[in-house]
Amino acid sequence: MQKANKMKKYYRDELPLSFDSIADAADFWDSHDSADYEAYMEDAQFNVDINRHVYLVPVAESVLEKVRRKAKHQGVSTETLVNMLLQEHA
């Protein structure tokens, strides 16, 4: 009986040619192992150019809360508003 289980063929879902949405692709890969589809994969060539730097600057909590409220009221992120304010005063 145990030998029969070991001899059982492994079933793999067919790889879709395309997905209707990113969510569909995510659902597929959340439930499938990419190692099972290695024969279908192609090498990809791309360059990554990372020029962005993030600087951490201490800000008083009361000031940050005011900036957050103002950013939310204007419909922008806190980061965007801080950058706009710094550009105005630089």
CA distances 3 to 10, 12, 24, 31, 61, Å, are: 15, 21, 37, 28, 67
In whole angstroms, give the CA distance from residue 55 to residue 69.
Answer: 22
28-83 pLDDT, tens per residue? 999 999 999 998 889 999 998 888 888 999 999 999 999 999 999 999 999 999 99
Q: Indicate whether this model's pTM tops 0.85.
A: no
* Contact in structure between 70 and 85 (CB atoms under 8 Å): no
Question: Token pair of 50, please?
Answer: 């990372």
Helix axes 61-74, 78-89, angle to 10 degrees: 100
Structure tokens at 20: 């209707």
Task: Check residue 12 and give its pLDDT.
Answer: 85
